[in-house]
Amino acid sequence: MNVIMRFMKRNFKAILVVLTLSVALLGFSLFPGKKESDPEKDKMLIELLTFVIEKGHYSPSKIDDTFSKGVYKDYLNALDPSKRFFLQSDIDEFAKYETQIDDQILNKELTFFDLTYNRLMKRMDESKEYYKVALDKPFDYKKNESINTDYEKLPYAKNTAELKERWLLQVKLSALSSLVEKQKLEEDLVKDKNKTIDEKLKEYRESLGDKITPELEKKFIADAEKKKNQAPKTYEQLEKETRESTLTSLNDNFSFIKDLDREDWFSVYVNAISSRFDPHTSYFGPSEKEKFDVSMSGKLEGIGARLQKKNDFTEITELISGGPAWRGKQLEAGDVVLKVAQADGEPVDVVGMRLDDVVKKIKGPKGTEVRLTVKKQDGTIKVITIIRDEVEIEETYVKSSVVEKDGYKYGIIYLPKFYIDFEDQNSRDAGKDVALEVERLKKEGVQGIVMDVRDNGGGSLKTVVDIAGLFINQGPIVQIKSAAGKKEVLYDKDPKVQWDGPLVVMINEFSASASEILAAALQDYKRAVVIGSKQSYGKGTVQNVIDLNQFVRGGTYGDLGALKTTTQKFYRINGGSTQLEGVKSDVAIPDKYAYLKMGERDIENAMPWDKIDAAEYKVWDRQNNFDLAIEKSRQRMSNNAQLNLIDDNAKWLDERNKENVYSLNIDKFKAEQKALDEKNKKYKPIGDYKNAFDFNSLPYEVEQTNKDPVLKEKRQRWHESLSKDIYIEEAIHILNDLQSENNKGLTTKVKKEKLVKS
């Protein structure tokens, strides 16, 4: 969602000059050979960081007691999100610094950080004994007890005895979920004994698709033969195995933590400071900066999923189109990864593990197998097997498809992000690529186009202007306001309209930043009908990534990392900001995440919404049945049984998300899981849905897919997903309603009804 543009760099030059001079005057002295944990380097980093933010941030917060309280809260939550390390006595001792962090920042003091860091190391070391004792003997799963995992509301343990009990319940829950999972596998093993090897092999082939190899088949057959004569394991054996695997996972987790140095923990503290200015201002430590640089490369090997940390848990946020996880159709955005296993290896508990370490366990060489134990949005727990593969960033580029309805042909353009390479004018960029796809669709004789920017997190604002300009006469596209209050309007200066026919823009809750600007501009011009979620993400700010090393002269402490800070805010041409409010759809369609808190508006210290003067622009007047098409779509939505089911599922997921109490009685735990499975059956038709359309690649791409089986599979998968997409279906219906010939009689009827009512 970061938008880094040439004009940002241009506007920031003056600040950079001031900062460079100021750093020299501030007396930063550099001593070659200093270790990474050198407190002097830490003091200098905080001073440099806060100075850069205060001078360059769009609206820097005042570093006062209120700011201090925010840092205090965020930092402690980051150190101990599940409240299983610190005692209440520790918090009482820390509390005196709650309103002093601002003073320590200004005075370059590290007292609070040193205290919390040293205490955390001590408590973590003590905690190793707590879980080892808890796992030393069998759990009593017949005992009626439960655990509340709402850590935010959970108080800190009053004493060591209470903390030990908390650890016992947490590891018991982990072991219980593993035990139930293992019992299911044993039940399946008994059922499998009645199947032939050929029947089992057929099911295995279907589950892996074309990723099956002779080696995997051979191994599967050997395992199947071995299991055939294998006696089912007893409850006692399974119970012991789960405690042993939980112990191994926790030992691995603590060994990873032990590898973290003071610099890693100091980055947590610095981020707690920087993120208080706004949610999108953050510090990249040296290792994070390196990963950021690596992420710009063309390819990677893994499962093709993006992850993020939420308290103690790792959540799947996005599946990369074309990747193994995407092809497997089992992993979904919103799934929480609980355990990771390598091929036949024991699952490793990743709850509480560093995100970097979870990623390392999931990533791996092409052709190797990884098994993820995930918690689905509905609360069920599943084990998903994925064969790692090469994930091509090519799938982040624009692509298109054609579809027919009632004798009309329509085009679908999917744009995952607004990409561009400012350093290479000859490289691909979203503006040029979308223009090319529009031309190709025109040659195919399409009579309407859908621009799909769902899940598009943003990118280059320049490409937004270029793309919006394809559909309008020359005019303003977006307004930008800098920290100094200067307003800049970005225009499409080309009077040419590349596509003047019916247009629909599709958005969802994850359409953010630059994609919101495109949707907003085309909505303000009444050039396109915007359909999708009730509103988009709501990120109306611009960030610039600043390498902190450029401010230091005369030596080095090593890599200081980088700062991503908010430097500008953008506004619609009607004057309203997209911040918090996002873009509201003309036709709001229920979706799975409708009631979950996932937008900018749900972040505590998000920047506020505001408004500036509107730019001068002329509304598109070539679509005489625009409002009628919207009204017809809304009527269809209200009577659609499938959408009503989706809305009901969304409400249920919201309720499930609020439930944090789990029974640790095995019979009750199984009953809860069974009830969830039964409830889930009601929503099975959502996944089984299929619309009435066939989607096809353009001729040029058909030639490519005939030569490239991987690309062919990707397009087949995409077209298959489009054929099951009720939102695409409605977009096509709207394009059909926008056909003037289709609506002449109905338009006249509506006008007459309005005259009668008036």
Residue range 496-552, pLDDT digits in tens: 999 999 999 999 999 999 999 999 999 999 999 999 999 999 999 998 888 888 887
Residue range 541-564, pLDDT digits in tens: 998 888 888 887 755 667 788 999
Question: Of 59-63, 419-423, 747-751, which range is least confident?
Answer: 747-751
Cα–Cα distance for residue pair 509/730, rounded to 1 Å:
18
pLDDT value at residue 287 = 65
Residue 749 has pLDDT above 90, yes or no: no
91 burial (CB, 10 Å; 0-12 / 13-18 / 19+) is middle
Q: One of 182, 399, 417, 539 is an active-site residue; which one?
A: 539
Give catalytic status of residue 513 as yes or no: yes
Q: Please, what is the angle between helix 514-524 and helix 461-468, to 10°?
A: 30
pLDDT value at residue 394 = 60
Helices (H), ranges, 622-739: 626-638, 641-657, 666-682, 684-688, 699-707, 709-723, 726-737
pLDDT value at residue 704 = 87
Give catalytic status of residue 29 as yes or no: no
Residue 27 has pLDDT above 70, yes or no: no
148 burial (CB, 10 Å; 0-12 / 13-18 / 19+) is exposed
Q: One of 178, 513, 515, 533 is an active-site residue; which one?
A: 513
Cα–Cα distance for residue pair 169/145, rounded to 1 Å:
9
pLDDT value at residue 29 = 29
**Confidence band (pLDDT; 50, 70, 90) for 384?**
very high
Q: What is the pLDDT of the chain when averaged over all its residues?
A: 86
Give catalytic status of residue 539 as yes or no: yes
3-state SS class at 546: strand
* pTM of the predicted structure, to 2 decimals: 0.76
**CB–CB of 478/463 below 8 Å?**
no
Percent of all residues in the chain with a pLDDT value above 90, rounded to a whole number: 58
Q: One of 466, 492, 524, 591 is an active-site residue; which one?
A: 524
